[in-house]
Every structure is written in C-alpha cells, then in structure tokens.
Amino acid sequence: MYTDPALKGFNPAKVPSSYGDTLTFWDWQKRTITQQIKLGADGLIPLETRFLHDPSQPQGFVGAALSSNIIRFSKVHFFIMLFFFT
C-alpha cells in the first residue's frame, strides 16, 4: 500500500537532508551553475527569492522558511556576499 509522505506531516528532523539550505546561482546564457552557497542553520528551507526592481543591480533577498530569516545577497566583483537579517 502506497502512503504519501506528505500525509505524515512536517518532520523538522528531516529538514537538512530533505529540504536544503543552499542558494544556487546560474549563468542563464551558458546554462551552468556559477556558485552555490550553503546558508547553514540560519537559512534552512530557502523559500522565496526576490531581486531588486532595477535589473542592473545584482542583489536580492531570499526568505528562509524555517528560521523566518531574510538573507540579502549581493554580487561584489566575482563572489556573492550574504547579509543575514533576523
């Protein structure tokens, strides 16, 4: 008998292995990953990513669902900087 895992409910113990804590940045023209950043315990379940309204500004925000943190990311030269807001 098949049981849907969603029916078992949310299990916080399975968060690191099942949901993730990584931001992945892509080069959309080359279709390759340029950088991955582990957010750690402060950024478990990154849920929603928002960029600034000005497309020339390489920065944005991501909301971490489990911790309710908002993490700002910004491209500085060739790497991404993260700022945590709790």
At 5 the three-state DSSP class reads helix
Which pLDDT score is estimated for 84? 64
Phi, psi of 40 (to 5 degrees): 70, -160
State residue 79 phi and psi, 5-degree precision.
Answer: -140, 165
Predicted local distance difference test score (pLDDT) of residue 11: 81
CA 43 – CA 38 distance, rounded (Å): 8
Lowest mean pLDDT among 5-9, 39-43, 60-64, 68-72: 5-9
pTM: 0.67
pLDDT digits (tens, 9 = 90+) for 2-43: 556 666 778 878 887 788 888 888 888 899 998 888 888 888
- DSSP run (H or E) holding 51: strand 46-51
